[in-house]
Structure 1
């Protein structure tokens, strides 16, 4: 029997088979594996396709969050003014709070990248 062992394989080298043939085969398999991995990574790194529809929906979402905050603040302020009889103060205070809440919602949405 042949006592020469292949590195990593642990098996015997068949007669007429050289180490060069084995290295060439291992090199070819390695290159194929690397090409597959690079292909997968390139697909993962590809930037998202942005078109008019997605940008328009993001802008609409930001505008509606801001508008909703201001409107809710105005309605709450008007409601408190009606209940407590403090005519413009509640409206102004809650309108400003609604404005701040709308801006914070826009910033939060802009940071998350949704």
Structure 2
């Protein structure tokens, strides 16, 4: 048998204990985080442009039908802008809620690990 004070055995035992205590951590790549932020930005831009386009389409169609050139188009462009901004704000709140939940989970994990 080996001596329990043997440095190699002690080092191996220490590494085994550390590995057992250490929780597997998912390492998030910086590029992955960058792409998720870019996807969020594109999502918000598309929501804003879609609101404007839908407002323009409805306004132009009503102007064509009612003969009120460009009154309805201008009015519905502003409605579309407001709808796009509201949708962007909802998306931002959704992302913020997810980030707060993830932070709370990380904080809880840190507290339970101590």
SS of match in other structure, 2:49: helix
Number of positions where the alignment pairs a residue of Structure 1 with one of Structure 2: 77
Larger-Rg structure = 1
What is the RMSD computed on CA atoms of the aligned residues?
Answer: 2.5
Q: Give distance in 1, aligned partners of 2:54 and 2:65.
A: 16
- Residue 99 in structure 1 maps to residue 42 in structure 2: no
- Residue 69 in structure 1 maps to residue 51 in structure 2: yes
Query: Where does structure 2 lack aligned partners over 5 or more consecutive residues?
Result: 1-16, 99-114
Runs of 4 or more above 4 Å deviation: 46-50
Report how far residue 48 of structure 1 moved: 9.7
Higher helix share: 2
With the length of structure 1 as denominator, give the TM-score of the two structures.
0.57
SS of match in other structure, 1:87: coil
Match of 1:55 in 2: 37
With the length of structure 2 as denominator, give the TM-score of the two structures.
0.57
